[in-house]
Structure 1
């Protein structure tokens, strides 16, 4: 729970005790809100009442936002790879104060309320004796992680459902506390009311909002719990404390020096952005004995499907029980071959050669890591996920400034600045700032070279999570520069803060005339956008139009794509698809709310949406 008594953990000492920088947590979950709009949750795998057979296992390593409908009946938990602190495998289910639609629960209050549920499908536990004495249920859990800690009045609860009396019964509870490593819970199921066909289990959490109303800009989501490695099976015992798997623990990250993303046309002018990069994989042996596995890496150019890098790291030596290994594989050459397109995307993979036999197939999803290295038209330190929010608040912050340093590796026109603003309990308030660009003065923000008029902070819809501020003057940059904002009032500007990517000393704030390092590990989610304006080009030169709220999903796609927009899709007359060379490859009506892409090979494409008004261009990827 986010209370002022806990803020002392986050406060940075400044010249005055009345003005500080803070981290806060968002009131909404953009990933869940987008998933709802795109209808990611479905029951296509069958009825929610389909009965499952043992074993039951889920470590949430599939790339999804909602719980897998093959195992679960609801969509309240948030499946993610960013909020937990060093989980046993790289995905977790997070329960907090935000519902499946991505918003704070309507019943939320400052005392205690039931928030999220994670409910299994029915499971057949009708097991003949004496095998029924070996039925055990286990899971791992962590409070807080990288987010807000639940208070002692908050809790995580496990309940079992009996098909005999058709009631839910208490099974286990943990009271709220601060962050600790993942703990394992092992419960024997031996009561006959549960050893039936149709047994179910569910987790739920109790949460409570802050009672403080003085700092609305810092009030948001609270009381995070993270669950991993849920396993229910027979033939187990109290000694079954090992997870019997080897799994990746952390997602892959960018292969670029410093940046998560850089403009493609800047990269191929200065490929030193890549030099000296390693591909880092972290994985753990959760078995009770030494195991023998091999590690592989590869990189694929999604523009043409070419494999641009392949490495067989080979057998991992001395992979003993409970040992975590981090392998840093130096890539000896640039795996991103240059071309003269305006963008590029590469699929980077790490994978283990294990879980190929039926007994371990249920673990296979944590054997492979996928990462998309994107080269578009912007620089970014962040990965697009806002685990928290950064801001300045208190007396004399009406002129406070914050700035982030970037380096333009090519002389180019700064077209826009994009920023991600978290919605909080003051999201309806009109907050104005001055979008600002500074030159560099020996590693610090120097003279102001651009400053906007007062612009209102906008909390974008779920299709466009970043707000784009177009510059109203031509600004050609090269080398180091800083972008950020100046406040106009004592109001917490809750800008997204990525806790998984650290920009370090490239982030400064200034309240009393002195630039000071931001003293949190993470990245302020602000990005400079370069290149020509986002207009549809003539002839074969095509580029993406970012001015319309249209999203293509899934992206990357395979055989079919769908559109979601804030305008009436009935305005679409037809659609055209171009390859990266400007060649028209598909012309189609937009019927049945989908567009067939079965004939397209792997690569990057532009979708031109012809409407009754102006056409719209959007980029998407085919990955097979």
Structure 2
């Protein structure tokens, strides 16, 4: 097999090429204001939560309350109008005596109707009182009023005639009608914080925790659940950030020994909180309808990455022991970045608890579900698997359990079952483990068969779901963490990462190269590369560019160089952006993908610390390659499929067309530009030797410059498109 190297090249502006000192680093995910995505508009939260045209009912839930975040049980506001859980509610601005007129004239003093009898004096009768109730846009009453009609009737008993007159109205009410869709509540446990933006708050995940207690944690940092910073006006802005608020709970005054308990971790796989960064617990005072601070922890007080002992907080007193009690977790952090991270796990609230048994938990839980079927990869191209499954199917899969109890536990059965898109079982396994020691995390391997597991579905990709579960002797206190699921996806790319970046990886220095190794047992052509470029605060996208190149090996010239330069395209959160190659590049066996920097500034790549492929990450300074010192995986993926969207090369065709000749040159060069452009020419020390504006064809004399390599940077005045080229001056 021949070796192929794909290197995404970024050429130097400020450091002599070949003499740059290599420096790699991991950085927190700090976000750039220019690249920030829009977030949702503020909404209001009550016992019902309105997201027009939907009103979400919020039930008061009973005890015990338990969440270890094995599942995401934060309420999601995603209803559709045709769902069975929805009932229609007609809204109006006001009603009068249980009626809903389109319009009505009122006065605020009594009016009378007149009766003219056959004989005798006129009779005056007070008209009926009109009781008005006003409603808000969610259909909730917001006020009341009383009034009387402006219509005066006069009845003549001798003739039987009724006549009408009107008096001037003091007000005229006009009704507005609308329809809301009332959504029944669901089994969720948490809601969007009251009177705050619908940004989701804490992030439920299995990525940011070290030494996880159970599968899944809730993480708090300076960004919302969409990955958007709360405040990017300053990189040092500080304040309240994520919130995780419980639904109302059904407490009462007869309850005793009611405790809220949980575990917390400072930092985990994210940025560690500092002295001014705190995790806070607040209780909702039902009487005053105010939140009360009951507990907090500062970042400097805890050993980084270690889980705390179980925290016990007593819920007591008439203000709390009644229906409608709530509690919430909040953090105070740097608001411009995914920094100052806290994790919480195993949240319980119940009555009749014994605080003297503070850390006694009778539970066995999953820490990791069944691992990937594809060995070192989390995903491989579906067509490659079908052609050579023996090379891409792993030898085994693993599961990890945690016995949180102080006694040894007997596992009666440990199982997993994998099904295709229509529910047909493609593989299953059952075993037992007679000895799961007390307070122990144990990983077990399950050998895979040598024959092909996943059948051809006739499509270009395939998804399979694996359910894992176990049973223990005597049963389990908490059953929700006895079952977990995982997805095995086959697409067009190879990946080592799990799809989540906890940090950002970057090289510092111009001319540095980054290469990432893969192996394709099936000969095929790479057509694109997926990158996760996190939105990092220090980035300046207008000053960064790269060109994609392909090598057979590190000692030879490239066999492919793109004819255009590209810029990082920043994605939301953990999304990837595909860069298409101008022409397909055939590879078989080992190959690498990566980049060489044009500018000395860092180009950040998403970095996953929960998977391990660091032995395939290399960076080059001068003529020497080094292995990475950081354990983890880059969020870079080679793609062997066609891209249905507009490719990078197609977009580039619309950008600046710049010709420079002759090149090499003795100093007299000719520019031809398809549109007006700002031109700068640099030597390899980063000094600008010429800059100016060209509008078409222009001649330039550089004969006074020393022989060597120079870099030309052109910015299209129409759209800001960047193009860089090398210029060689000869003696």
1:475 and 1:202, CA in 2 relative to 1: closer, same or farther beyond 3 A?
same
Question: Structure 2 vs 1, CA of residues 385 and 33 (structure 1 numbering), >3 Å: closer, same or farther?
Answer: farther
Report Cα offsets for 1:227-276 as digits up to 9, x if no partner.
11110001101133223221101244312122111112212222233455
| Partners of 2:55 and 2:348 in 1: CA distance | 21
Structure 1 residues 274, 379: closer, same or farther in 2, change over 3 A? closer
Of the three residues 30, 36, 52, the one matched with 2:61 is 52
Residue-by-residue CA offset, 1:64-95 (whole Å, 9 max, x unaligned): 78789722122211111111112211111111
Paired residue for 1:515, among 625, 628, 631?
A: 625
Given that 1:354 and 1:367 are in contact with CA atoms closer than 8 Å, whether structure 2 keeps it comes out as no
- Say yes or no: does 1:62 pair with 2:66: no
Q: 1:35 to 1:256 in 2, by over 3 A?
A: farther
Q: 1:345 aligns with which of 450, 457, 463?
A: 463
State the 1:105 CA deviation: 0.9
2:504 to 386, 389, 397: 389
Q: Which residue of the other structure, out of 402, 426, 433, is the alignment partner of 1:284?
A: 402
1:487-526 equivalences under 5 Å are 487-526=597-636
User: Taking structure 2 as the reference length, what is the TM-score of the superposition?
Assistant: 0.62
Q: Which structure has the larger Rg?
A: 2
| Pairs aligned (count) | 495
* CA distance in 2: counterparts of 1:150 and 1:34, whole angstroms: 26
Q: Which moved more, 1:157-166 or 1:250-259?
A: 250-259
Does 1:423 pair with 2:535? Answer: yes
- Indicate yes or no: 2:27 matched with 1:27: no
- Measured at CA, do residues 526 and 276 of structure 1 come closer, stay the same or move farther in structure 2, by a change above 3 Å? closer
* Alignment of structure 1 residues 288-437 onto 2, 5 Å: 288-293=406-411, 294-302=413-421, 304-314=422-432, 316-333=433-450, 334-338=452-456, 341-353=459-471, 360=477, 363-393=478-508, 397-427=509-539, 429-430=541-542, 431-437=544-550
1:172/1:416 Cα in 2 relative to 1: closer, same or farther (>3 Å)?
A: same
Distance (whole Å) between structure 2 residues aligned to residue 110 and residue 138 of structure 1: 32
What does residue 470 of structure 1 align with? 580
8 Å contact 1:55–1:233 — kept in the other structure? yes
**CA distance in structure 2 between the partners assigned to 1:338 and 1:229 by the alignment:** 41
Structure 2 Cα separation of the partners of residues 513 and 65 of structure 1: 52
| Counterpart in the other structure of 1:614 | none
| Residues 125/64 of structure 1: CA separation in 2 closer, same or farther (3 Å cut) | closer
Q: Distance in 1 between matches of 2:435 and 2:524?
A: 51
**C-alpha distance in 1, partners of 2:250/2:284?**
12
Residue of structure 2 in register with 1:194 after alignment:
320
The answer for unaligned runs of 5 or more in structure 2 is 1-17, 77-185, 193-199, 648-731
CA distance in structure 1 between the aligned counterparts of 2:250 and 2:372, rounded to whole angstroms:
44
| SS at 1:460 equivalent | coil
**Structure 2 equivalent of residue 5 of structure 1:** none
User: For the residues of structure 2 that align with 1:496 and 1:65, how far apart are their CA atoms?
Assistant: 26
> Could you tell me which residue of structure 2 aligns to residue 98 of structure 1?
223
Q: Does 1:439 align with 2:565?
A: no
Secondary structure class of the residue paired with 1:146: coil
Structure 1 pair 355–202 and aligned structure 2 pair: CA distance change class (3 A): farther
Say whether 1:136 aligns with 2:259: yes
Aligned to 1:607: none
CA distance in 2, matches of 1:35, 1:498: 25
1:148 aligned onto 2:271: yes
Higher relative contact order (CA 8 A, sep 6+): 2
- Contact kept in structure 2, 1:434 and 1:487, CA below 8 Å: no
Q: Deviations over 1:518-543 (max 9, x none)?
A: 11111111111114x34xxxxxxxxx
2:638, 2:73 → 1: CA distance? Answer: 29
What is the CA–CA distance in structure 2 between the aligned matches of 1:52 and 1:353, rounded to whole Å? Answer: 28
The structure-2 alpha-carbon separation of the partners of 1:64 and 1:530, relative to structure 1 and needing over 3 Å to count, comes to farther
SS across alignment from 1:239: helix
SS at match of 1:366: helix
Deviations 1:311-341 (A, max 9, x none): 1113x21234312221111113332234654
Q: Distance in 2 between matches of 1:252 and 1:136?
A: 34
Q: Please, which moves more after superposition, 55-64 or 381-390?
A: 55-64
Structure holding more strand per residue: 2
Task: Find the aligned partners of 1:286 and 1:43 in 2 and give their Cα distance.
Answer: 37
8 Å CA contact 2:380, 2:392 repeated in 1: no
SS of 1:268 mapped into structure 2:
helix
Match of 1:269 among 387, 396, 411: 387
Superposition CA RMSD, Å? 3.3
Q: Do 1:252 and 1:281's aligned partners in 2 also have CA atoms closer than 8 Å?
A: yes
C-alpha deviations, 1:555-602, integer Å up to 9, x for none?
xxxxxxxxxxxxxxxxxxxxxxxxxxxxxxxxxxxxxxxxxxxxxxxx
User: How far 1:48 moved relative to its partner?
Assistant: 6.5
Tell me, in whole angstroms, the C-alpha distance in 2 between the residues paired with 1:273 and 1:392.
33
> In the alignment, is residue 458 of structure 1 matched against residue 581 of structure 2?
no
CA distance in 2 between partners of 1:126 and 1:144 (Å): 37
User: Which one of 294, 307, 319 corresponds to residue 181 of structure 1?
Assistant: 307
Give the TM-score normalised by structure 1: 0.73
SS in 2 for 1:384: coil
Greater CA drift, 222-231 or 379-388: 379-388
Distance 1:274 1:471, change over 3 A: closer
SS at match of 1:124: coil
Question: What is the CA distance between 1:224 and its match in structure 2?
Answer: 0.4
Deviation at 1:149, TM superposition (A): 0.1
Supply the distance in 2 between the matched residues of 1:43 and 1:192 (Cα, whole angstroms).
26
